[in-house]
Structure 1
Amino acid sequence: MNTGYFGNVAILGYDPVAYFTDGRATMGSPKISKKWLGATWYFASVEHRDAFASEPVRYAPQYGGFCTLGAAFEQASANIDPEAWRIVDGKLFLFSGKEGLEEDFDADPAPILAKANGEWPTVETKEFEARAAAN
């Protein structure tokens, strides 16, 4: 799970459930957290934490929390912008920034997601190997 370069907090501390329930990026609280897949997840409310705990795969971002466009083009940058996100077919996708999202993704997300789905196993393996070598 992508936790950026510092710390071990998923989505830089943003609440993954809030994207779905509130329709916006919302900072979570370290006081309301849950460990999952080796990362700590923060939530804005106990209800969000409990929803995540019961169905983490439903709320967790795709591609391990890495940038969707990066995954499509075989790159795994730890830099994501939690404010740059989309929900497509009930799945959360994160991006490294908002610039170009409307032109590059929103117009036709299907081919980008198909490419990212195809490339993700390779990107994931490279990222896992790089992190293992660093430790």
Structure 2
Amino acid sequence: MSRFSLMFPATAAAIILATSGLAGPQYVDGTGYAASGHDVVAYFDLAQNPVGTDQLAAVAGRADITADYNGATFAFASAENRARFLTDPAAFAPQYDGHCAYGVAKGGKVPGNPNLWRIVDGKLYLNITTDVVGFWEEDISGNLTSSEANWVSLDPKPASSSRIPKFTSPAPEKN
């Protein structure tokens, strides 16, 4: 038996164990949906505004087009977006399980507002308030470095149970 064949099962097991711990409890608000019922795939089709300017509003999902991932139900605006999500849910789900990227950079889990978003290097990040967006955007790269370092210890902790300030989240549309 070759050394590769002996090493491969151990390596594969290590990779599976390491990646399975990457997703902790998803933030879910009173709607009962991840991202407050907004279509996480749709963000990747929206025009992204420059740093320092407001993003377009998130696209509402539908209650009859959903998929479960990371312990939460995600809603989608179309069956096509649901199908895209199902090909690689981790590629579309908000980073830090839907928690505020700046909050994670500062060492805590607070909710992410689905209308305060930015895609960086192909990943979706949410923040909690417009003031926080300003702080996060002052040094996105540095804040992401801090977030990644902090997330290792924050990930196993329970999801935030806080509400998003000044945000009302209607449940996904029923058709």
What TM-score range do you get, normalising by the shorter chain? 0.7 to 0.9
| Mapped partners of 1:15, 1:43: distance in 2 | 4
Contact 1:26 1:44 in 2 (8 A): yes
Contact 2:102 2:132 in 1 (8 A): no
% same residue: 33
Equivalent pairs, count: 127
User: Please, which runs of 5 or more residues in structure 2 have no aligned partner?
Assistant: 1-25, 48-55, 162-175
Q: What is the root-mean-square deviation in Å for CA atoms of aligned residues?
A: 1.8
Taking structure 1 as the reference length, the TM-score comes to: 0.85
* Structure whose CA Rg is larger: 2
Q: Does 1:21 align with 2:45?
A: yes
The answer to which structure has the higher helix fraction is 1
| Mapped partners of 2:116, 2:38: distance in 1 | 12
| Mapped partners of 2:115, 2:31: distance in 1 | 19
Q: Does 1:93 align with 2:118?
A: no
Taking structure 2 as the reference length, the TM-score comes to: 0.67
User: Please, which runs of 5 or more residues in structure 1 have no aligned partner?
Assistant: none
Equivalent of residue 109 in structure 2, options 46, 62, 76? 76
Q: CA deviation at 1:57?
A: 1.0
Equivalent of residue 9 in structure 1, options 17, 33, 36? 33
The answer to which structure has the higher strand fraction is 1
- Runs of 4+ aligned residues of structure 1 deviating over 4 Å after TM superposition are none
Between the two structures, name the one with larger relative contact order (CA 8 Å, sep ≥ 6): 2
More deviation, 55-64/103-112: 103-112
| Mapped partners of 2:132, 2:97: distance in 1 | 22
Aligned to 2:142: 111
Contact 1:72 1:115 in 2 (8 A): yes
